């Protein structure tokens, strides 16, 4: 109960009357292989516990050229998806008796690189990279240092990557939006208000382009065509999204039949806009979000959501690491979270 000073294996060796290497073996579990007498091992272990001894992992790491640390870099902590990832990563790391080191790099390429270098200085055993701004440079550095690494969410050409199946997810989400469309109203025909729109995202990015493809395929399957104006890939900036939703509303002279919000930020802006509209308008509006936010389920307006399977992503990433040399791009289907049906029609 009072491990006042830092003890070393030598202290223990001395008190037991044995050598440091025996103590080391007893304490790190290799004693069976080293044919240490069971009783000796137990005595050592018992004393160590009594003294409150704990190994110096820096020393061990220096000697073994490993560290027991596994890194995860991600853009930010304050984001549901990434904090879910952190959670899963922590659980999986500990299950493998590794110590997770999670660092947010603010979507800045330079910060990503310097963080990677930092982590390499600590001899981390592996690096996970989620949502990287600059995947290939990171991969270059890791490869040069022979550091096993894997990308999550944002893939890297030539390096093992695991991402969500954006196209399938988008198709399913679009179908759900279509399924909850209000009954067809001839009055709206030709106004553009009878259509479903996709808002947000950057068509040049891998993820967005797949989502757009999924959206278009579902729309075409159901309506026979998908007009160019139904895809508003205006990026991820909240201000821009807000402007666009307002513009769309003005152009159509009201809400469209349905909307596919292509990211949590965009969704937030849509809600902000909707919170200013009279409830009556929402009655015939079908909304979906490609991202997950539990509060979405608490709105009075039903919202379909797509949720990335963070645990699956992390587990798959670890598996990719286990078969070295792989440059696979693995895809994990997301989870579709359907809104419960509307309970309270606007007329109360």
Which of 202, 235, 206, 229 has its CA nearest to residue 216? 229
Find out whether 128 and 96 touch, Cβ atoms under 8 Å: no
Choose between 219 and 289: whose C-beta lies nearer to a copy of itself: 289
**Binds DNA by CB under 7 A, chosen from 47, 50, 52, 65:** 65
The CA-atom distances, in angstroms, between 224 and each of 168, 192, 227 are 19, 15, 10
Q: Binding of a copy of itself at residue 77 (CB under 8 A)?
A: yes
Q: Binding of a copy of itself at residue 2 (CB under 8 A)?
A: yes
Q: Binding of DNA at residue 147 (CB under 7 A)?
A: no
**Binds DNA by CB under 7 A, chosen from 64, 136, 220, 246:** 64
Tell me how far apart the alpha carbons of residues 49 and 145 are, in angstroms, rounded to a whole number: 37
φ/ψ of 198, rounded to 5, equals -110, 130
Cβ neighbours of residue 326 closer than 8 Å, sequence gap 6 or more: 160, 320
In the complex, minimum distance from the CB of residue 15 to DNA, in angstroms, rounded to a whole number = 12
Find out whether 340 and 166 touch, Cβ atoms under 8 Å: no
Choose between 28 and 136: whose C-beta lies nearer to DNA: 28
Choose between 186 and 348: whose C-beta lies nearer to a copy of itself: 348
Classify burial at 205, counting beta carbons within 10 Å of its beta carbon; exposed 0-12, middle 13-18, buried 19 or more.
middle
Binding map of a copy of itself across residues 94-133, x = CB under 8 A, - = no contact = -----xxxxxx------------xxxxxxx----------
Find out whether 276 and 249 touch, Cβ atoms under 8 Å: no
In the complex, minimum distance from the CB of residue 147 to a copy of itself, in angstroms, rounded to a whole number = 11
Choose between 30 and 64: whose C-beta lies nearer to a copy of itself: 64
Q: Binding of DNA at residue 42 (CB under 7 A)?
A: no
Find out whether 320 and 150 touch, Cβ atoms under 8 Å: yes
Q: Which two tokens stand for residue 71?
A: 């890194």
Classify burial at 289, counting beta carbons within 10 Å of its beta carbon; exposed 0-12, middle 13-18, buried 19 or more.
buried
Q: Binding of DNA at residue 18 (CB under 7 A)?
A: yes
Q: Binding of a copy of itself at residue 158 (CB under 8 A)?
A: no
In the complex, minimum distance from the CB of residue 38 to DNA, in angstroms, rounded to a whole number = 7
Interacting residue ranges for a copy of itself, rule: CB under 8 A: 2-4, 6, 52, 54-59, 61-62, 67, 69, 76-80, 83-84, 86-87, 90, 99-104, 117-123, 144-145, 268, 271-272, 275-280, 293-300, 343-344, 346, 348
Residue ranges that bind DNA, judged by CB under 7 A: 6, 8-10, 17-22, 24-25, 27-28, 30, 34-37, 40, 55-56, 59-60, 62-65
């Amino acid at each position: 109960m009072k491990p006042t000073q830092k003890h070393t294996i030598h202290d223990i060796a001395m008190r037991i009357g044995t050598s440091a290497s025996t103590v080391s073996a007893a304490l790190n579990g290799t004693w069976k292989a080293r044919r240490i007498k069971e009783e000796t091992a137990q005595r050592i272990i018992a004393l160590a516990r009594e003294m409150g001894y704990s190994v110096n992992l820096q020393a061990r790491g220096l000697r073994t050229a490993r560290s027991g640390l596994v890194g995860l870099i991600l853009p930010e902590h304050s984001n549901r998806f990434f904090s879910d990832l952190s959670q899963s990563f922590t659980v999986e790391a500990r299950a493998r008796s590794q110590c997770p080191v999670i660092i947010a790099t603010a979507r800045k390429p330079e910060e990503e690189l310097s963080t990677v270098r930092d982590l390499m200085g600590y001899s981390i055993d592996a690096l996970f990279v989620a949502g990287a701004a600059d995947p290939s440079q990171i991969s270059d550095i890791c490869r040069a240092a022979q550091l096993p690494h894997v990308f999550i969410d944002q893939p890297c050409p030539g390096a093992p990557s695991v991402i969500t199946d954006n196209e399938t997810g988008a198709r399913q989400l679009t179908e759900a939006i279509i399924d909850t469309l209000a009954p067809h109203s001839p009055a709206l025909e030709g106004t553009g208000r009878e259509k479903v729109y996709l808002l947000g995202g950057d068509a040049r990015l891998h993820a967005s382009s797949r989502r757009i493809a999924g959206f278009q395929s579902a729309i075409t399957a159901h309506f026979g065509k998908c007009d160019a104006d139904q895809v508003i890939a205006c990026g991820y900036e909240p201000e821009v999204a807000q402007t666009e939703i307002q513009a769309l509303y003005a152009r159509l002279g009201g809400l469209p039949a349905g909307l596919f919000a292509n990211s949590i930020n965009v969704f937030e802006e849509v809600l902000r806009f909707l919170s200013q509209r009279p409830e009556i308008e929402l009655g015939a509006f079908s909304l979906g979000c490609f991202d997950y936010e539990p509060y979405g389920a608490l709105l009075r307006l039903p919202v379909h959501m797509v949720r990335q399977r963070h645990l699956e992503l992390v587990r798959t990433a670890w598996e990719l690491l286990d078969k070295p040399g792989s440059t696979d791009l693995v895809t994990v289907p997301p989870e579709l979270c359907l809104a419960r049906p509307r309970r309270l029609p606007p007329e109360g």
